[in-house]
Structure 1
């Protein structure tokens, strides 16, 4: 009989705990609707990132979204063709649950593009030489798992690679030692599929700079000193840039552990 009473009591306690947990989770979520400022129409597929908690989501067909958030968190909203926007969460926004956020459409002025056609001869061997190719080269040394992309094939490129290999600790310490908080976010960003999908479709570095709280020039400096070519830095999508920075940072941590 005592065992039966204990079992019932345990079930009641568990149910109460589960209910409290669900209530708490709802209290730590923010729900809103995003609309087009020009048309007042709801906007589906808008990307939302909580910069503080490093969580991401997108709006549904009615422009609605729900994301983990507490007061003073900052949300970063992006949508192709619209001005990106940052929203700071307040207690009132969490309490009333009927927040509407507007995004403003951007007007793009297309620059004149000059197309220079190749003079084709009809002979593959000749025409192939007239087409510009990516001239970035990657170097590797037997026994090391890391490849070094040094840009153009010239003597200085090889020297740059050897310098990074022979004295990597000083180089990476200067890059990452001053920004520990930003670099700790790398793993969180990579674990969120919504954010990864967003970064894979972007090339402007805007969301990446907001997430890591770095300037674009800082990102370029990191990649340059981690021996990535100018071609890669200019053409890679934001997810590839994130993975490159992350790989370089993991190398930095590995070198520090050996000290």
Structure 2
């Protein structure tokens, strides 16, 4: 056996062993809290993308969700950037996590004030200003990606499967052997499914969920995941965008969902007339 082949076998065994210990982790119930001061803590959504489990925060920002070491948590809130974090062994041992979300800020481009003398006549002033041609990477001989815009999960998968130089992409081989590529592919699948679920959820107004389906506002997203997530038949009905077909399906699913929550020990009721 050549030295190169032996090296690859050695790396594969080491990485495979490490991956095996990672995926055999025990599931624990993680207590967490969103600690932002300038946010309505109640009803934020916490998803475990690896286990496909979700929950919502309580009024004080607390939440509880099952996790394993290496799982990916997804936290979303209106006017805040969604956050993804990997559950470390330390978090699992501590069984507690505090999360602070970053505000979603729309930044405007800087306005450069020049020393050009303007007289206030638009036609004359426009001729005085010299506009710089934007940098074109293609003209500079640089590679230009012309495919669709990749999501964060798709970029991670692309990096894991295309990294490395030479005839044999070493990083890509290691990622494939260790199971990282498989894990990233699953994250891409879940991320794409999540977008489809949210699109289907928004086909029906919150008022319809609350008043006709008797789903309290805080459980609407959870109900949407119950109906649509990994359910090709339900997603196919949503794709028709036929209001009557969608409502008919949701009316059948709502009682089953409420019964499901009851069996989980969750009391789903209305605090007020708006189903909050």
Q: TM > 0.5 between the two?
A: no
Q: Which has the higher contact order (CA 8 A, sep 6+)?
A: 1
TM, length-normalised to structure 2? 0.32
